[in-house]
Amino acid sequence: MRDFGYLEPATVAEASQMLADLADLGDSCRILAGGTALMLGMRQRMLTPGHLVSLGGLGALRGITFDAREGLCIGALTLHAEVARSPLVQAHYPMLAGMAARVANPQVRNQGTIGGNLCYADPATDPPGCLMALGARIVVSGRGGEREIDIEDFLVDYYVTALAPDEIVTQIRVPAPAAGADGRYARFLRTAAEHRPLASVALAVRREGAFCVEARLAVGASTPIPARLRRAEALLAGNTVTAELAAEAAAIVAADINAVSDMRGAEAYRREMVRVVARRTIAELFGVASE
């Protein structure tokens, strides 16, 4: 690693001012949260920042709260492991707790933060798609004040977010679950030793038995950014889910995604894996037979 300046703001406002002052340096200035991805990039010389703004001292950005009307609030510096073992998350958002328990590996889960994960915008990671299916909103703060961004608008492209140069993520807010809320998060790994999914499917629904009242379905890892599959959602909503309907919805999902093709998997292969994972996830959630 080359030498770099290390800054430790004491407040969110001070952090925003530091980022604004260093804005003319562009990618030479980076925010340090958990550091699991940033440090790896720096060790491999893929990233060579001249300044790091560490958020480690901002205790106000940690913690998890829940309100029956307002829903879940997760501080941006909350660790993945803390999300996974939170009684509040386990009780009200078991899909989110289950996802967090499988992020990467134990070292990353106990060092990496959920806010840092979202800001890094890695297309092959778990939290973004799951949070998208749950309708999460991202709270950010900058010199101009605080604003809330729907996660679908927050994630812009490969490793690109809607954050302004002086903004940091402070909270992730998830709406309170409605009556009949249920969900599943599933992913496909090429090998048991791999930590980055090749395909992921997150499905959040309101249901009455096998009848689907409402559905939100997001696919990640095989796409440049996680994406809602609205045609498949519309097919499921208002219908009793059968094995045949699950298969039809999964076929729509596979057809509608903007599948990428790279060294980890060709486009056709990714579409097929997404189709299989989506069919199994829908069938499992609604308790219908699946191949």
CATH of residue 111? 3.30.465.10
Of 64, 95, 79, nearest in space to 34 by CA: 79
What pLDDT score does 28 carry?
Answer: 81
Residue 27 pLDDT > 70: no
Q: How confident is the model at residue 26 (pLDDT cuts 50, 70, 90)?
A: low
Does any domain span residue 244?
Answer: yes
Angle at 128 between CA 40 and CA 99, to 5 degrees: 90
What pLDDT score does 256 carry?
Answer: 98
Q: Which domain holds residue 30?
A: 5-54
Does any domain span residue 291?
Answer: no
pTM: 0.96
Residues 148 and 185 both lie in one domain:
no
| Residue where a domain terminates, one of 174, 190, 207 | 174
Token output for 255 = 């057809």
What pLDDT score does 192 carry?
Answer: 80
d(CA 276, CA 254): 9
- The predicted model gives 24-40 an average pLDDT of 84
- Taking only the tens place, the pLDDT of each residue in 205-231 is 999 999 999 999 999 999 999 999 999
Residues 230 and 154 both lie in one domain:
no
CB 276 within 8 A of CB 268: no
| Residue where a domain terminates, one of 135, 151, 174 | 174
Residues 204 and 273 both lie in one domain:
yes
What pLDDT score does 144 carry?
Answer: 94
Query: How many structural domains comprise the chain?
Result: 3
H helices of the chain, in order, are 12-21, 36-43, 80-85, 87-92, 94-100, 106-109, 114-120, 127-133, 151-154, 230-236, 243-256, 267-286
Residues 41 and 70 both lie in one domain:
no
